[in-house]
Amino acid sequence: MIENEKLRIWVNRIFAFLVGGLLIFLIMNFSVVSNVKNQNEELKKELEESQYGAKRLLDNAKAYFEDKEYVKARETLDTLFEKQPGSNETAEGKKMYTEVQDMIKKEQKKQEERDRKWEAAVGAIQEKWQEEKAAQLREQLEKEMNDTLLDKEWEKAKEEVREKWEEQ
């Protein structure tokens, strides 16, 4: 009986140890898993609201479009298509993308026209600028030459002027 009782005590201890360990495992598991799930949900929300969130990217692209910064709008839409390909905002962004591309082409045509006008006018502008610069340089050179000549003449005449001054 003593052996049975000792055996029963050891079985009870082992069973209690296993049950206690199982309870601790379950409590830890549930707390960690629920904590990880909460963190996962928070991270999803942050991702949606972050710089790569579809709504934010589309809003940024619209703002760039309104500010007539079409290249930045296109880059933002490209990021939207890359980072959030399945979102509702992507469908709206694709519609906007063609408008942005059209505006970029118009801006390029305007710039090309300005460049052509500049190339046509640059010869006359350069000639006028050269004439004005030459006149300015002539005037400056004449002044410097006059100042230098006056200084030389003064050195020659200085003694004579001093003598006349002392006589007075």
Give me the pLDDT at residue 138, please.
85
Residue ranges of domains in the chain:
1-49, 52-127
Give me the pLDDT at residue 110, please.
92
DSSP secondary structure code for residue 87 in this structure: S
Q: What's the half-sphere exposure (Cβ side, CA atoms, 13 Å) at 80? A: 26
Q: What is the mean pLDDT of each run of 10 residues along the chain (168 residues)?
A: 80 89 85 80 71 79 90 89 82 88 91 90 87 87 75 78 78
Helix (H, G, I), strand (E, B) or coil at 85: coil
- The domain 52-127 is classified under which CATH number: 1.20.58, 1.10.357, 1.10.3470, 1.10.101? 1.20.58
Helix (H, G, I), strand (E, B) or coil at 102: helix
Tokens of 89: 């905002």
